[in-house]
Structure 1
C-alpha cells in the first residue's frame, strides 16, 4: 500500500511539471503598496489537479475580489516555472512544481502562506471547499 502511494505521488509530481527552475527579472512585487498576492506556479506539463488549482483560484479572485483587483490590493499571477525568466521567483519560494501561495504584503514586508498541500487535496475532489478556503485566506490577508 505504501509503495502504491509513493508511486502515485511521484507520478503526480512528474505530471505537474517537476521541471528545472527558471529565472525572472519581472517580479510580481514591483508594486510597493500593501496588498495580497495570489501566486500560482506551474511547469510546462500540468495534470488535471494543477489546471483545477489555477482555474478555481482565478475564479475566486476574479469573482469575489474584482474591486480589490482593480485597486491593486489583490494581485493574481500565474507563473510558469519552466520559463527561464521565472527562476528567481521559483527559487525564492522554493517551488519545483505546481504550487499556490497567498501572500500578504504590509509595509514592504511579506508574509507568505503556502497553500499547495491544501490545494492538491481539495481542488478536484471538493472544489467548493477549495474556493471557500482561498476566499477566507485572501480576506484574512487583506486585514
Structure 2
C-alpha cells in the first residue's frame, strides 16, 4: 500500500485480506498532518478489497463550515473515497494559534469530517494546546479539517424549578459502539432514576435519527448533526438547551456515566 501524504510517499505491506503487516507512523513534510495505523489494522476500499493507495491533498475547493463553527486552516482531502479501517486510525492536525478567530478557546477545537450529508464531528478528540495539535480517530476517509465552535449568545437561566426537562439523543443511521452506549446509558439513567417524572411527563426521553427527513424540525431546533445528547430545561414556555458533551469522555465507565448524567438531569429539574 502506497501512502502519499501531501507529496511525501511511503510504502507498507498489506496482505491479501487487507491486513496491515506493520505499524504506520507518518507526518507530512510541513508537520501539519500526521497518521498512525496499528499493525494488524484492516485497510479496505469501498468494495472491501485491500487498499492499494492512499492519497492526501489540500482541498482546493473546500466546503463551507457549519453555521455554528469557524474553519481553522486547510481542508484535507483523503482518498480514495469509501476507504475504511478497523480498528480506527489516529489522525492529528496542527494549527497556528495566531490564526484562530477572536474569542475562540483552543481546548474547544475539534476535527470534523465532511461527507455528502454535511460535517460530522467524531466522538473522540484531544487538543494539545502546547504543541497546537488536535487529534482524533476515524474509521473511514472523508474531507477533514479543524473547526472552532462559535460561542452561542448567552441564554437567560431559568429561575425556579423547571416545568419540563427534555432529554434528547441524536444519532446517525450508521451506529457505532459509542453511539449505542450513550443511548443505552441515557435510557437506563432516565428510566431508573426518574420514573415518577417520566410517568408525569415532567421528564421526557427521545431518540432521534438526524438523517431521517421527518425529524428535520427537531434536528434544526437542537442544532444536531451527528451523535449528540441534549438536555432542554423548559421554564415558562422557554427552551434552555444545553449539549452534554462531557459525558462522551465517560463512555465505558458505567457508574461515572450514569452519575454524571443523573446529576445533570437533577440540576435541570431544579432549574439550574
Aligned pair count reads: 123
RMSD: 2.4
SS at match of 1:11: strand
The whole-number CA distance in structure 2 between the counterparts of 1:11 and 1:81 is: 20
Shift of 1:127: 2.1
The structure whose Rg is larger is 2
2:183 is the counterpart of 1:79 = no
Shift of 1:35: 0.5
Unmatched segments (≥5 aa) in structure 1: 15-32
More helix, by proportion: 1
The whole-number CA distance in structure 1 between the counterparts of 2:183 and 2:218 is: 18
Unmatched segments (≥5 aa) in structure 2: 1-24, 26-32, 35-89, 93-110, 112-123, 125-135, 142-161
Contact 1:41–1:95 (8 Å) recurs in 2 = yes
| Equivalent in the alignment of 1:58 | 187
2:256 is the counterpart of 1:133 = no
Q: TM-score, normalised by structure 1?
A: 0.77
Contact 1:40–1:99 (8 Å) recurs in 2 = yes
More strand, by proportion: 2
| Equivalent in the alignment of 1:119 | 247
After TM superposition, the runs of 4+ consecutive aligned structure 1 residues lying more than 4 A away are none
Q: TM-score, normalised by structure 2?
A: 0.42
| 1:9-88 → structure 2 map (5 Å cutoff) | 9=136, 11=138, 34-88=163-217
2:223 is the counterpart of 1:94 = yes
Is the alpha carbon distance of 1:128 and 1:12 closer, same or farther for their aligned partners in structure 2, counting shifts above 3 Å? farther
